[in-house]
């Protein structure tokens, strides 16, 4: 239904949690290399529990390859300097939710890539820098899914 795109993630536990998120919500998870870990990393496996075989996961060698594979119509880049709140977006099936690496977030070149429809922010208290990557992805995916009545879910 929705596609999560992690641009060069660094921490295996966050990606493991995103694998579980993708499996539970029916989202796809796309990763852009280089990754800060190996996919066989024990921390990634532990965080993803036994959901690895239930998740749709794609790894792309670079962002251009990801754009080609996703053929996105709409890409929402989640960033602290986003111009819209994540709740202001009317999400559509197939939307791409783009997140940057844990240590620095999305680089300006990626945030301003022509494929990006809008830069989106999650509210935070002033003076705080960022939210955990897996948590941010969870908030975004659940809002998008909520807008679609949690299609396919057991409520």
Q: Is residue 153 part of a domain?
A: no
pLDDT digits (tens, 9 = 90+) for 63-106: 999 999 999 789 999 999 999 999 999 999 999 999 999 999 99
Q: Is residue 137 part of a domain?
A: yes
pLDDT digits (tens, 9 = 90+) for 106-126: 999 999 999 999 999 999 998
Confidence of residue 62 (pLDDT cuts 50, 70, 90): very high
Q: What is the CA radius of gyration of the chain?
A: 14
| CATH, residue 92 | 3.40.1280.10
**Cα angle at 118 between 114 and 121, to 5 degrees?**
135
Q: Is residue 45 part of a domain?
A: yes
Q: Is residue 29 part of a domain?
A: yes
What pTM does this model have? 0.93
Using alpha carbons, list the distances in angstroms from residue 98 to 41, 82, 133. 23, 12, 11
């Amino acid at each position: 239904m929705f596609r999560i795109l992690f641009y060069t993630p660094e921490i295996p536990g966050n990606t493991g949690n995103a694998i579980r998120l993708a499996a539970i919500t029916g989202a796809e998870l796309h990763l852009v290399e280089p990754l800060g870990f190996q996919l066989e990393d024990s921390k990634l496996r532990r965080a993803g529990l036994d959901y690895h075989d239930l998740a749709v996961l794609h790894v792309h060698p670079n962002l251009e390859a990801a754009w080609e594979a996703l053929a996105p119509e709409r890409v929402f880049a989640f960033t602290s300097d986003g111009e819209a709140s994540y709740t202001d977006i009317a999400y559509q099936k197939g939307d791409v939710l783009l997140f940057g690496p844990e240590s620095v977030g999305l680089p300006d070149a990626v945030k301003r890539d022509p494929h990006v429809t809008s830069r989106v922010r999650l509210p935070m208290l002033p003076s705080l820098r960022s939210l955990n990557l897996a948590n941010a992805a969870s908030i975004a995916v659940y809002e998008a899914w909520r807008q679609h009545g949690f299609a396919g879910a057991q409520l």
